Amino acid sequence: MPTRTTPRGPWSGGGGPGGLSLPPFSPAPPDILVLLAVVFATFSLQFFGFTRWLPDLLHLGTALFPFGLLWQVVTYPFAGYGPPSILILLELLILYWFSRDVFYSLGRKRFWQTLLTVTVLAGVAAAAIALVGLAVTGGVPSAFVLMQGQRTLMAFAIAAFATMNRNATILLFFVLPIQARWFLWIEVLIGFVAFLGTHDLAGFVGICVVVGGTYWVLTSGGLGRALREWRLRAEKSRLERQLARERKKRNLRVLKGGGGRRDDEPTDGPWVH
């Protein structure tokens, strides 16, 4: 269970109680309870013949390409996945612990905005990798198994907690104390080990995008600010290229300083204007 040893960083300004250590039995946000219920319900529907079609429509699958099931890049995190095992309860418990704290820190709007942003990006990236695999090998039988349902949600919640609470202590396997910031790399390592067993390159890329995308969105001050900065950098780069073309076209020289001197003229003292 996550425990915080230092106050939160500047990201707590999104609506959560920055620096507040949540007690183990603090009220659960209704949003998180609904999220857990949806994941568990869709997980259960997999094992009934007359309802199996619904999770199949929600999970990421290779049918995304020939049949145009584009909504799957949005719905896949909310459809529970896996074999009928008690492990699903442990996964949902871990998801509850981390997502509750992240929800209180970010607030409802920013929580859902960040979650949808990184999971859609991960879904698109994974789908692109799978499409390349289909084109090259003709089939990707294990695509997306590493990132379906609660697995992506857990990756997001843990990455968000680790980003906002870098110096907090998390008990790995409830025994080994590790600073939260290392869980960003631990998630990638676990994903890589799972990739070795499944050969699910698309799913591994998706998990990496979730972890990296969560860190990027939260440390850049939010998606809106990150997009504005990216747009400004792109505009600056475009103007610099346009200016370089004009200089080359008109055979202009760049003047140094404010004295109107060409770069091939001898240097006079700073008193020359």
The DSSP code sequence of 78-135 is GS--S-SSTHHHHHHHHHHHHHHHHHHHH-HHHHHHHHHHHHHHHHHHHHHHHHHHHH
State mean pLDDT over 181-190: 89
The pLDDT of residue 176: 74
Residue 7's pLDDT band (cuts 50, 70, 90): very low
The pLDDT of residue 257: 54
The pLDDT of residue 19: 37
The pLDDT of residue 56: 86
Taking the CA atoms of the chain, what radius of gyration do you get in angstroms? 25
Using one digit for the tens of pLDDT, what is the confidence trace for 215-240? 999 988 655 666 677 677 778 887 88
Look at 24-28, 90-94, 96-100 and tell me which has the smallest mean pLDDT.
Answer: 24-28
Dihedral angle sign, alpha carbons of residues 172, 174, 176, 177:
positive
* CA atoms within 13 A of residue 19's CA, in its CB half-sphere: 1
Across-strand partners of 170?
Answer: 2, 178
State mean pLDDT over 2-27: 42
- Give yes or no for residue 17 having a pLDDT over 50: no
- Give yes or no for residue 1 having a pLDDT over 70: no
How many helices (H) and strands (E) are present in the chain, helices listed first? 9, 3
- Where is pLDDT greater, at 258 or 178? 178
The pLDDT of residue 227: 65
List domains and CATH numbers for the chain.
2-219 (1.20.1540)
**Contact indicator for 158, 234 with CB cutoff of 8 Å:** no
Look at 111-115, 173-177, 204-208, 265-269 and tell me which has the smallest mean pLDDT.
Answer: 265-269
Token pair for 125: 């990236």
Dihedral angle sign, alpha carbons of residues 147, 149, 151, 157:
positive
d(CA 137, CA 135): 6
The pLDDT of residue 138: 67
Model's pTM, two decimal places?
Answer: 0.71
* Three-class DSSP category at 173: coil
Using one digit for the tens of pLDDT, what is the confidence trace for 140-180? 667 788 899 999 999 999 999 999 988 777 776 666 777 78
Burial class (CB in 10 A: 0-12, 13-18, 19+), 73: buried
Q: In sequence order, what are the residues at sequence separation of 6 or more whose Cβ sits closer than 8 angstroms to the Cβ of residue 24?
A: 1
The side-by-side arrangement of strands in the sheet containing 169-172 is: 2-3, 169-172, 176-179
User: Maximum distance among all alpha carbons in the chain?
Assistant: 89
